[in-house]
Chain A
């Protein structure tokens, strides 16, 4: 495994199930048992009704590109040498949006509305990062 030179997430109790699922190759999100809303990013409370009846559910892993940008300049280590890369907000089938990169394609082929699906890259022994690629 080559050394990971991008920033790594910090993991705490309220977000650990998300990152542990990613390690297993599964994308999970949260849904509130009181108000039934999905939410992203994960929290220890429901951001909508403030209850703590949060359930982790397996996400379909499918979505569409809500918007994106092809990044040509970023001085941060790990990204500086990666340009051009696609930064995107993907709207999951469940209705919540999340930041990601669209990978395994030519940046020029990314469009708003493009159907995408999750794919995972292992960063190190503790962290696996979810990305999205055009749906097969």
Chain B
């Protein structure tokens, strides 16, 4: 493990074109993700978490600051940063479950037979062996997200970018998928940047939690939560309390900003 983090986001500002010019969404994002680390990005809805993630993925270009990944500046999307979205329509509906994963592998240069074999193995590992030939519209929400995660892992990316991948699922399914993801991350040692608005999810899955707040937003605090994976422990409760305080501060601040 070198001294250089795998990903570093330095003073990044991003805006969206609005009716009267650029509207800033993120003013100062600073964070790093080390090799093998899972960093959670948390904040109120609309504070710019997805915006930061999309910039790291290469879909948005920052108006200020620098994003460097694996020693080079990010210039566009590439499969070394696999993305899992919240939306359940991220699978190609015209391909089967197996086809979706195998296609991703072929598109990134794996020969056809090997792609099929690796896709099958990854899907079986994730308990989807019985659904290989189904089309996405025949799957439940949890299964769809599981396929999307299988696709991302099959690519063996350096980093996994996840934008509230469990946000649209019921609590029970979410819990099961969180546990599965934690297991996979531990085994593969992949680095993860994970966007969430759930405090428990952040503490449970993360090594560190980066809190985004304000409008336009910047990083308010970075919290170390490594090893806290049981909600009943002292450390977990303390981290949860701290994050809750930070997030409700942000809400009050936002309210004051509206009154000003």
A, B bound: no
B interface, CB within 8 angstroms of A:
none
